[in-house]
């Protein structure tokens, strides 16, 4: 790493330095073509290779079989909140949602636009305790015959993360908003009907959304929809029904290659575990800070914590910024601090933050 500020932002977030350098060159000249990636036609040969490699590397990393479509879309996870039920939740059916934070609440709200008399069912929720944990499976109550079960695998605002997928009734398939932890650890894509993720955490820049979808679901569209809101449209046209976010797809493809070079998803998971444990152990040892997420639910992506007072929280963020530790202010809805340590965030940044945690506690405890 060069001498850069440690960026703890929750998203858009840190990207691998090697990828940034490659993108810098590609902006001027993509692979010796004499034309930059921002200028290439999305239907020309150079971009054909970019999108084909991105999909192939995506499949290779996660073991995605051919009976799943890999789509590069736009609109972020927020569009997927509506697109998923619009395509697959019939007026006569219901879907189960696990409520574990702000984003899962937004997903449920969008689904309610398409729910019929049966409505959308809350299968489990930790809202009563401020979303400080992931509900246990034995606390969940499934509806009678849901079409799908939806959950948010990592909750960036409150710093909680599912350790394993929720159980799914026999009638249902699993849908997941994995925006902030997709490809941070191994996954079994065949356990899902649909996975989606905004790129701006672990995968690339804002503006491109990755969707992994079981192809047989493309035949299950339950209502007439505008062309751009149909998954089948994008699957049939290879994510190029309209002009796709070409630069975002290029960068995402380079991130896939970077993950491969680091040893793949298993190696990425080990690195992320080590970084998070370094911070959580420091926070617990100091007896000055409070981790806001409960043990057993703590995220490896977003470490959330507080000092003894809001005033000290503000001082902490300000002084940390002066030390080159940026982006630590917690989400405006919950306050406190949040250290986002996605795939590309270096261990050295966690070590620097741990040192600052100890120093700040010694001067303010």
Residues 253 and 269 in one domain: no
Domain span holding position 350: 263-364
Choose the catalytic residue: 96, 177, 181, 313: 177
Does residue 2 register a pLDDT over 60? no
Any domain includes 357: yes
Contact between 334 and 292 under an 8 Å Cβ cutoff? The reply is yes
Sign of the torsion formed by the C-alpha atoms of 149, 137, 302 and 259? negative
Output the average pLDDT for the chain.
96
Q: Residue 304: which CATH number?
A: 3.90.1150.10
Query: Does one domain contain both 167 and 290?
Result: no
Give backbone dihedrals phi and psi of 160, rounded to 5 degrees, phi first. -120, 160
Q: Give residue 3's pLDDT.
A: 77
Q: How many domains does the chain have?
A: 2
98, 201, 275, 313: which is the annotated catalytic residue? 201
Residues 241 and 290 in one domain: no
- What band does 116 get if pLDDT is binned at 50, 70 and 90? confident
| Residue from 57, 98, 103, 275 carrying the catalytic annotation | 103
The pLDDT of residue 338 is 98
Q: Are residues 233 and 269 in the same domain?
A: no
Active-site residue, 103 included: yes
Q: Which residues contact 198 (CB under 8 A, 6 or more apart)?
A: 11, 76, 77, 179, 206, 209
Rounded CA-CA distance 345/37 in Å is: 25
Q: 226, 261, 296: which is the final residue of a domain?
A: 261
- Regarding whether 95 and 227 lie in a shared domain, the answer is yes
Picking from 261, 285, 318, the residue at the C-terminal end of a domain is 261
Is 177 one of the annotated active-site residues of the chain?
A: yes
Out of 261, 283, 306, a domain closes at 261
52-101 pLDDT, tens digit each: 999 999 999 999 999 999 999 999 999 999 999 999 999 989 999 999 99
- Return the percentage of the chain with pLDDT > 90, whole number: 96
Same domain, residue pair 226 and 83: yes
Task: Tell me how far apart the alpha carbons of residues 355 and 220 are, in angstroms, rounded to a whole number.
Answer: 53
The model's confidence at residue 195, banded by pLDDT at 50, 70 and 90, is very high
* 1 belongs to a structural domain: no
Say whether pLDDT at 1 is over 90.
no
pLDDT greater than 60 at residue 180: yes
| Known catalytic membership, residue 201 | yes
List the beta bridge partners of residue 198. Answer: 209
Are 28 and 109 part of one and the same domain?
Answer: yes
DSSP structure class, residue 190 = G
For residue 282, tell me if it sits in a domain.
yes
Do residues 208 and 305 share a domain? no
User: Is 7 contained in some domain?
Assistant: no
118 pLDDT above the threshold of 70 = no
Q: At what angle do helices 246-261 and 264-286 cross, to 10 degrees?
A: 80
3-state secondary structure of 75: coil
Query: Is 170 contained in some domain?
Result: yes
Indicate whether 222 and 241 sit together in one domain. Answer: yes
Residues 101 and 206 placed together within one structural domain of the fold: yes
Number of other CB atoms surrounding residue 299 within 10 Å: 27
Tell me if 276 is assigned to some domain: yes
d(CA 176, CA 192): 8
223 and 309 inside one domain: no
Q: Residues 45, 110: one domain?
A: yes
- In which residue are the tokens 């899902």 written? 192
Residue 277 inside a domain? The answer is yes
Both tokens of 303, joined, read 């470490």
Position 115 confidence tier, pLDDT thresholds 50, 70, 90: confident
Residue 13 inside a domain? The answer is no
Q: At 223, which CATH number?
A: 3.40.640.10
């Amino acid at each position: 790493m060069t001498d850069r500020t440690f960026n703890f932002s929750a998203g858009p977030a840190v990207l691998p330095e090697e990828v940034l350098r490659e993108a810098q060159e590609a902006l001027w000249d993509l692979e010796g073509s004499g034309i930059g990636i921002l200028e290439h036609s999305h239907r020309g040969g150079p971009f054909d290779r970019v999108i084909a490699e991105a999909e192939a590397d995506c499949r290779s990393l996660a073991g995605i079989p051919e009976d799943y479509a890999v789509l590069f879309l736009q609109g972020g996870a927020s569009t997927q909140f509506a697109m998923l039920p619009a395509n697959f939740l019939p007026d006569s059916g219901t879907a189960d949602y696990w409520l574990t934070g702000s984003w899962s609440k937004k997903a449920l709200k969008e689904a309610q636009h398409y729910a019929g008399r049966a409505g959308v069912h809350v299968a489990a929720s930790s809202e009563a305790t401020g979303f400080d944990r992931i509900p246990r499976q034995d606390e969940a109550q499934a509806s009678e015959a849901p079409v799908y079960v939806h959950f948010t695998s990592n909750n960036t605002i409150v710093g909680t993360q599912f350790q394993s997928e929720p159980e799914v009734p026999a009638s249902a398939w699993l849908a997941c908003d994995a925006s902030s932890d997709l490809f941070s650890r191994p996954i079994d894509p065949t356990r899902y009907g649909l996975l989606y993720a905004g790129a701006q955490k672990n995968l690339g820049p804002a503006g491109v959304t990755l969707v992994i979808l079981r192809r047989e679901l493309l035949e299950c569209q339950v209502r007439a929809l505008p062309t751009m809101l149909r998954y089948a449209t994008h699957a049939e046209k290879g994510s190029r029904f309209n002009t796709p976010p070409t630069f975002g797809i290029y960068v995402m493809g380079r991130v896939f290659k970077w993950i491969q070079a680091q040893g793949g998803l298993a190696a990425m998971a080990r690195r992320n575990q080590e970084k998070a444990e370094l911070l959580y152990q420091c926070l617990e040892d100091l007896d000055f800070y409070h981790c806001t997420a409960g043990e057993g639910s703590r995220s490896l992506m977003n470490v959330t914590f507080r000092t003894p007072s809001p005033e000290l929280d503000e001082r902490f963020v300000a002084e940390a910024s002066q030390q080159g530790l940026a982006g630590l202010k917690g989400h405006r809805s919950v306050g406190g601090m949040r250290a986002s340590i996605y795939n590309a965030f270096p261990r050295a940044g966690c070590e620097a933050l741990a040192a600052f945690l100890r120093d700040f506690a010694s001067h303010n405890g």
